Each structure stands twice: as C-alpha cells, then as structure tokens.
Structure 1
C-alpha cells in the first residue's frame, strides 16, 4: 500500500476502559477480528477485516479516565514539521511527535476550536489496509461550534483545497487533496447539547444501515440520528455502549442529487 498523500485520513483508533467489551461490540457490529495486544505498546490491539488492518482499540494509560472517543489520524511525511505548523496556526500539540518502534511516528493535537485529531508519519505501518468496504473506514467529518477557526486551521496545516456546500441547508465544508475529497466539516448547532465537545465523526461502511443500527442498538448502543438516506448514502449516528460516537453508512443506497459546491 502506497504512503497516503499528506492530510489524507489514514488511521483510526479509540481508547476504551473495557477493551474486551469494545472488541465484542465492534466484532458483532462491523465484523472485526482482533490481533494480539502488545504490552510494550500499551496493549494496543489492531482490528482486521479479512486479514487487513482497519482500526485499533487500546486501554487507557494508568491514571487516565477520559471519555472513549474515536481518533482520526491524518497522514504526514514529517510529523515534527506538522506539529510545528499546528502550533504556528493556533493549535495545540497534546502529545509531541513520538516514534512507535518501526511502525511510524504519531502526534496528537487539537485545532483552535478544540477538535482532537492525530497525525501519523507511516513507517512499516502505513495505515488503513482497506477502506470503503463493509466494516472499514469510509469517511470523517470535523464537528465544531467554531467553524471559522477550523476552516482557517486545517488548510494552513495540510494541503487542503476547500469547497462549501451551497444548498444543503447546513453549514458544511469539504476539504480536498488534488481531485480527492478527503474530509468534511460540519457546524454544530443547537441540536448538540452544550456538554458535547467538538470532535471528529468517523464513519464506517456497512452493507445495510438499518440492519447494522438494529444490531448495534441491540448490543447497547444509543441511536443519535437516522437512519437517513442522502445523496451520499444511507447513514446513522450512534454512540457505542461505552459512549464513543461513530457513524455507519451504506454508500450504495442513495436518494436525491448532491448539493452544489463552491470553491472558497
């Protein structure tokens, strides 16, 4: 697999207080199997589809008590240089660039509006080994109450061209690299309770959105939105039993015409 262009979503992981429960849930909902955890890397455990790496789960470090949340990593050819750009543009580097064996170098950060994300400089581990197939990563959106800050920050740190959806009824922006659209940005409205922090909403592809939602809810997930059919697919937003938000989408089931977009 070729190294992804700078700024491309390339990996996702989440920290869970009960890793075994998370493995059971996502295994049932998305069809994941799991590799062996390695204590030298904090019991980081990769998830697989048909032998291809698609995500990872990890327990908190001793003393950590953070809300479970999916973290999206954006590709970088030089994590240290990206960390410098993050600071220069008003972001916060939460975890300094750190080499993880031969696998690569990671960095954790927040944009000026408070959105947490990761940076990954691939080594032997370049990121997702498959995307878009049922159970694998499909899409992601930055959810923020201060879109003007996110809109200035991300294209300054990564080589994104931005386009605004004109007639979608929501404040939604698309970030692209060359011909590829790689990331969305959604303004959080009053439908989000004040206690919900800004975050990156990670979508996983599924064969049937309604069946997946029913299975997830039956296993203790909470349905937050949908299922709804859009020009991009039928999707729904959920929180897993430990509170981590994620979405699922069946991109083969669509309805309506895509909104027009304008370069900004």
Structure 2
C-alpha cells in the first residue's frame, strides 16, 4: 500500500461519477470496494470523496435534476495549466465542453471532447492533487479510451499531453498505449464491428479487485449487472460491469500489482 502525493502532469489522476441515486451509489460502491465517504459541503453540491484506507480514491456526486447525460465514470488528466491545455485541445481538433473554471481552493478544471468523440476532463491541482490510492484493490488501476479511430485519438492525446503513443502487438486487436517517460498512462482501443453501433467513443476506468469472481457476485447482489463475462488477458482477469443506474466500469484482478510486490 502506497500513497500518491502528486501525479505527473499528462497522466490520469482522478475519476468521478455523477449518479441519479446518491445514497444508493454510496451503498453500492461502499460495499463493493470498501470505500468510506467524505461528503462535501452544500456550496460544492456535496461532492463526495471516496476513501480507501483514509486516502482519496475517487469522487462521487448526485447528477443534477433534469440532466440529459447518462451516469458515467469520468476521467481527468493532471495538467499544470488548464488554460494552455484548452488552447491545445482546440488546436488539435478537440472541443471544450466546459471552459476552465476554478473549484475553490481545490484546483481548476475543464471538460473536453477529443476529435473522435470521447469526453475527458483535465484537473490542475491545488489542494486536491488527485487519487492518493491507486493500483491496489478498491482503487483505479487502468484507463483506456474506446474509439472508432484509435490512431487519431492516440495522436490527439500525445500532442495535447506530451505523450508517446506505441502500438501494442495483440493478435486481432488494434490497440495503442500512451506513455509519459517511463510511466504507461493508458490505452487506446479501436472499436471494431463487434461493438454495437449505438455505443459512442468513451473512456473506460478499471478498478482493481483482489478476487474477481467474488466481486462479480457482489455486483449482482447489489443490483448491478455483468455486461462482459470474466476473461483472461496477459495482464490479469477482467470483466465489464454496470452499477444499478447504468454507469459502466471494468473490474480487474491484475496479474501483478505494485502493492503486492511490497508484501
């Protein structure tokens, strides 16, 4: 178990969920991941920090009444200057959905969409520096953008965040990984004809679990659904699930976690 003090700019530092059932989501994710919750003040719409062993792991809030967007897990890149990043997003074919804004003393943020249609956020940290618990059971362990044009998406993120895109040699799958120096930031997956046409490009968050089968049983017990049955990869077993309100995420028991090597 380790604590991240500061994420490297250009890497993914935070995830959060807007849900139509705030109390229900607290019960679902608290039971599934063992999270405790630090509910925020009214001026921040009770934005809640999900904590794992006293460390921040993710965010949770109630979706505004009448909102037309579905409940989704959103990803945020760490950024040193959201104003400059907004300009780079536009210069490289993306669009800004929410202009840079200040969030109290916590930091600044923006929400954008890449040229292939996937939505993402950028977080410029101040007092809130992102997830402190990562790559351990109950915490985010991987992120990938699923898109209809993986080369265009990879080029966009590489240019905006100073990343290197590398083709991953996987039979039957078009996949690229994004790198910041020695760190692997995330993946870019080509959505092929096997994907339903009505699923738009999107970012997928993976959460680590110690026992995938037990976690899938818990998802079902709590009212969620298994969308993709568990399957093995060289990196571990995984399964795509939804919570009871339709937010999709992936559960994964990695082949090896950094925290496991530390005993």
Q: Does 1:68 align with 2:64?
A: no
Shift of 1:93: 0.6
User: Residue 187 and residue 50 in structure 1: after superposition, are their counterparts in 2 closer, same or farther (change >3 A)?
Assistant: same
Residue deviations 1:100-127 (CA, integer Å, cap 9, x gap): 1110001101001110001000001000
Gap runs ≥5 in structure 1:
255-264
> How far does residue 253 in structure 1 lie from its aligned partner after superposition?
6.8
**What's 1:46 paired with?**
49
Match of 1:82 in 2: 85
The equivalences for 1:79-228 within 5 A come to: 79-228=82-231
Match of 1:242 in 2: 245
Q: What displacement does 1:62 show?
A: 4.3
What is the number of residues matched between the two proteins? Answer: 254
Number of the residue aligned with 2:40: 37
| Structure 2: gaps of 5 or more residues | 258-263
Deviation at 1:167, TM superposition (A): 3.4
Q: Contact 1:234/1:253 (CA < 8 Å) preserved in 2?
A: no
RMSD over aligned CA atoms reads: 1.4
Offset of 1:79 from its aligned partner?
A: 0.7
Residues 94 and 108 of structure 1 are in contact (CA less than 8 Å); yes or no, is this contact kept in structure 2?
A: yes
Runs of 4+ in 1 over 4 A off after TM superposition: none
Contact 2:76 2:121 in 1 (8 A): yes
How far residue 209 of structure 1 moved from its aligned partner, in angstroms, is 0.8
Q: Does 1:4 align with 2:12?
A: no
Q: Is the 8 A contact 1:42 1:61 kept in 2?
A: no
1:262 paired residue number: none
Distance 1:148 1:252, change over 3 A: closer
